[in-house]
Structure 1
Amino acid sequence: MSDLLVAPSLTGVLNGLAASASGRDVWRALGRARLIEQVGTDPDRLGRLLAAVDRRFPVGTTLSVCVQVATVLPILADGPAEILHRVRAGIDTIALAATDIGSGSDLTALRTEVRLGDDGIDLTGDKRWITNATTADAFLVLARHKAGRHFSSFTWVLVPASAPGVTVTPADTPLFEGSGVGHISFDHVCSGQVIGRPGRGLATFARHIGTERLAGGLWSVALCRRVLADTLERLSTRSYGENTLWHLDSVRQRFAECLVRLRQLDALTRTVGSRIDTTTAALVKAAAASTVDHVLAECAHLQGADGFAADGVQHLRAQAGLFGVGGGVTEVVLSTVADDALSLLRGMDPECSPGLG
């Protein structure tokens, strides 16, 4: 049996927090209980952690935890051990500052620059829609250290949130409560340190993108499962004629289609597991975005007027749009899938599979 949920249990730790707890609060509690270090990048543990957080807290809070455990920690593994220890212990919250103004999913187009010298760094640029921006103790910043779009032109830099020249502005959105989402400006910031080798920024990011996208897939399964269970309960208890809405064939068929899609995504994440690579990560990302969009749209329809209540499924549906945008827009990841089309088709051909012969 997994040693995750060793006392203090994951459920016990999370239930000890207010339902309105921020991502920073949850991260601290998980760290103090040594649950973050137990999770690592193991798919089963990661899925259980994200499902437990999603069940208890708003989307923004889960997003805050997800980004740190799936992306920040693997990248920081190339940095000083003391920094990694503080984050795992929940002492520090770190914001992943990758996306620039206007760069979107094309990270090679980012304009944030860092000058590396014997006497330190000089960082200038702007980052947009950064999770944990307003609550972080430090920012893990992707910046270019030389001109051009080459893969080796980018470096990770860890910058204290309190450093002179750092300005943080909360994002103007009613969504993602608990995530600390905001925008960050760096004006000749000289405090900070390089994480990993200069020029290895995008390579490091690419090496860990699979974990990030698998985490998104695992979280999307948990979220859809939770919403479907809630919708089923509502349909089963709402009267319609001499029975309930659940007994209408049209309702049951729409719900069943959601179950089919969710089961397919669940099977994909389980099949991929720890063997995830660039192509399978893109498959998971695209499948998660499509599944969440379909399931939440159907549940919003099936719940009717109730879905428009405060914090109802319509509000959740708007927040869940992040699955099709964050970590790479769906169109970009589908292009990655298309690039490896022949290999994927061969992998599904029984003649190319090991076994009987």
Structure 2
Amino acid sequence: MTGFALGVDQEEWCGQLRALAAERLRPLAEKGEPGRVNRPLLAALGELGLLDRVFASGALDLCLLRESLAHGCTEAETALALQGLGAYPVLHAGSEAQRERWLPQVRAGRAVAAFALSEPGAGSDAAALALTATVDPAAAPADGGGWRLSGEKRWISNAPEADFYTVFARTGEGPGAKGVSAFLVPADRPGLSGAPLDMLSPHPIGSLAFDGVPVGPQDLLGEPGRGFRVAMDTLNLFRPSVGAFAVGMARAALDATLAYTAGRSAFGGTLSDLQAVAHRVAEMATRTEAARLLVYAAAAAYDSGAGDVPRRAAMAKLLATETAQYVVDHAVQLHGAVALQRGHLLEHLYREVRAPRIYEGASEVQRTIIAKELYGALPQARPGKVAAR
């Protein structure tokens, strides 16, 4: 790829994915029950090798994968992304035993993963986690000791139906983010329960209750007290690809709008003949293209190991999700009442497009990250002194 123009092979792959999403995965998604894990859909993603691609690809390929699937089947895209989000910490920080136990099952679409970070009082401020991991006095010192998890997680995608959870809890090695550890917690662990939440999004979201759930050193993902870094490394990879998901929805809405306005008779011509309509479509297309390029740039920065990944990832997620909201909303407006009918593509996208502006860091959090990174890069000038040019 040169200057963020895709190569021929990449374009062909994206086209194949869009067709696959619409023709093979969409029918499976339509048979699923809203708010429940669609295991046949996950199995198909595994059979097609798409889940394996999540873990074998760089950030750019992940973005192309999510964007292309979102264009044809948002449910397939979300199912794939949640597998990646929940299991990437295992790939990145897990032990060999943890990886051998869970990753083949995730790749095959047989085990459902979940990323359990958010809490009732710790959503945007992830360092304010309250779920506690206290030393378990009953744990055998010869086994390295252990902890008991107590507290609650909420707004967890794939809960309460996941087979295992990547859980972030406060172990107290230091204040704030320095005292958080990451654990791999199987769903059948005693003391762990969950309940579904009735949310706008069609994919499953729930709460988890931890009543003295036992975990040991073998359940740690990485080192004690370093769990927040595991979470941030995961989010830095997946934030640009959330932007890719949004771009895929925006492009689907734009394509539908182009086709509709070019064929809809109105005022002696077509809607596309009206300057107000044509200019709005031009604005939708321009914003979508800008978001797409920023997403690709952030992914390329991640793949090259650039030092400004947090800023670029935040910018990509911010612009792409806000742009998708704008494009889908205007697509609905240009279609009129037909777009509000249940089952219409735009009615579906209108419900889907809202959540990405909140999860994995709300737009306000992304702006805070961007500003912090910008100011942190300034030369340290003394108060009252203007930095030399």
8 Å CA contact 1:214, 1:285 repeated in 2: yes
Deviation at 1:30, TM superposition (A): 2.0
Q: Secondary structure at the match of 1:17?
A: helix
Instruction: Choose from 49, 63, 68 the match for 1:34.
Output: 49
Q: Is the 8 A contact 1:4 1:45 kept in 2?
A: no
- Output aligned runs, 1:56-75, within 5 Å: 56-59=72-75, 61-69=76-84, 71-75=85-89
Aligned to 2:332: 300
Q: Distance in 1 between matches of 2:134 and 2:43?
A: 33
Residues 51-91 of structure 1 deviation map (CA, whole Å, 9 limit, x = unaligned): 343244345x532321322x333211121221223222322
Secondary structure of 1:190 counterpart? strand
1:309-336: CA deviation from partner (whole Å, max 9, x where unpaired): 1144245323311121101111111011
Corresponding position of 1:95: 114
Residue in structure 2 matching 1:328, options 324, 337, 361: 361
Check whether the contact 2:87–2:114 (CA below 8 A) recurs between aligned residues. no
Aligned length: 341
Look up the equivalent residue of 1:285 and give its one-letter code: K
Q: Does 1:287 align with 2:312?
A: no
Whole-angstrom distance in 1 between the partners of 2:26 and 2:354: 27
Q: 1:56 to 1:266 in 2, by over 3 A?
A: closer
Partner deviation per Cα, 1:185-224 (whole Å, 9 max, x = no partner): 1111125722221111111122232211111111111110
Q: Which runs of 5+ in 1 are unaligned?
A: 347-357
Secondary structure at 1:336's aligned position in 2? helix
Q: Give secondary structure in 2 for the equivalent of 1:184.
A: strand
Question: Once superposed, what is the RMSD of the aligned Cα atoms?
Answer: 2.8
Provide the secondary structure at the position in 1 that maps to 2:354.
helix
- Residue type of the alignment partner of 2:311: T
TM-score, normalising length from structure 2? Answer: 0.79
Contact 1:10 1:49 survives alignment (8 Å):
no
Q: Deviations over 1:84-135 (max 9, x none)?
A: 2322232211111100112111111111112355343311111111111132
Distance in structure 1 (CA, Å) of the matches to 2:70 and 2:135: 40
Deviates more, 1:16-25 or 1:45-54: 16-25
How far apart, in 1, do the equivalents of 2:350 and 2:24 lie? 28
State the one-letter code of the partner of 1:185: A
Identity fraction in percent? 28
Q: Name the residue aligned to 2:281.
A: 255
TM-score by length of 1: 0.86
Matching of residue 186 in structure 1 with residue 237 in structure 2: no
8 Å CA contact retained: 2:106, 2:112:
yes
Distance, in Å, in 1 between the alignment partners of 2:39 and 2:209 is 21
Contact 1:23–1:65 at 8 Å: present in 2 too? no
Gaps spanning 5+ residues in structure 2: where?
Answer: 1-8, 137-143, 303-308, 380-389
Structure 1 pair 275–44 and aligned structure 2 pair: CA distance change class (3 A) = closer
Equivalent residue, structure 1, for 2:352: 319
> What one-letter code is carried by the residue in structure 2 that aligns with 1:245?
L
For 2:289 and 2:192, how far apart are their aligned partners in 1? 45
SS in 2 for 1:195: coil
- Asked if 1:107 corresponds to 2:126, the answer is yes
Task: Give, as a single letter, the amino acid of the residue that structure 1 aligns with 2:132.
Answer: E
